[in-house]
Amino acid sequence: MCSFLIVCLSYSCFVKTFWKILVTFGVLGLFVIVIAFAIAAIVGGADISSFSGGEVAVVPIYGDITLGGCSSGILFTETCAEVGDIKDQLKAADNDPQVKAILLDIYSGGGNVVASRELMRAIKNTKKPTVAWIGEIGASGAYYAASAADKVVADDDSMTGSIGVIMPVTQYYGLMDKLGVNVTVIKAGESKDIGSPYRPMTDEEKGELEGMIGKVYDSFTSDVAKNRNLDLEYVKNISRGKIYLGSEAKDLGLVDELGGFDYAVELAAGLGGIKGEPKLKRPERKVRLTDLLSGG
């Protein structure tokens, strides 16, 4: 019998022993390399994701963009894009060595001004490449947020743009007069009840509110111009609250590419340097009461 401890006297025994030694040292060498690489990854922060292709983190932005959470009733919860949750997802993706790029999956008609700006800033400050994909709709505050991404992709027939600001003021003093209902407002400060539904708005009050809205609009268009590398006057000229199809938005420079979700993933993977098929990393879906009642 041949073994590593026996001196071979025949050629066949030598060959068998030689290959046993070669295979054994090859396996041991590979094992040492794997262990050394793992230690280096832990100690030195080496990125092992390059061997697995890498991941694209998908961050959904669905519904109204808000800072305060979704409004809800007894049984139904409105779908919304809560900025705090989205910022947490962006931060997690930035800190995950497996994630190479971030894809913003947008289905939103906008939201509150401050919330939309806060989301825009969070997207702009991400360390990893970001691609915003606008499917059905990405308008107003949602487009505001999308404009901060490295690339914006929209479906040809998506509703995009609507760069503008609105402040609805509901007044029903006429109806109250017909019903014989009177409301007496006691105030300290001339503008304390500006926009009151109980009385007509004065020209001065309307001008004051229009001035506020104008300043917000200026900030909105200025940020979009900077994010998209466009001239400010050009952005103001093409915005004015108008909604564009994705194909029109591309011609105007509001989006970079036209395509579906898969194309947006491919683009994000390319920006992240991912070779081959990227793995999509999606956030865990929150279970709501409506899901439980519907069996979903």
Q: Which residues are catalytic?
A: 140, 192
DSSP state of 229: T
**Which residues lie across from 154 on neighbouring strands?**
134, 258
CA dihedral sign, ordered 19, 22, 25, 27: negative
DSSP state of 128: S
SS3 256: coil
Tell me which H or E stretch contains 80: strand 80-82
User: What φ, ψ does residue 91 adopt, rounded to 5°?
Assistant: -65, -40
DSSP state of 77: B
Q: What is the largest CA-CA distance in the chain?
A: 119
CA gap 145, 158 in Å, rounded: 16
Question: What's the N-to-C CA distance of the chain in angstroms?
Answer: 66
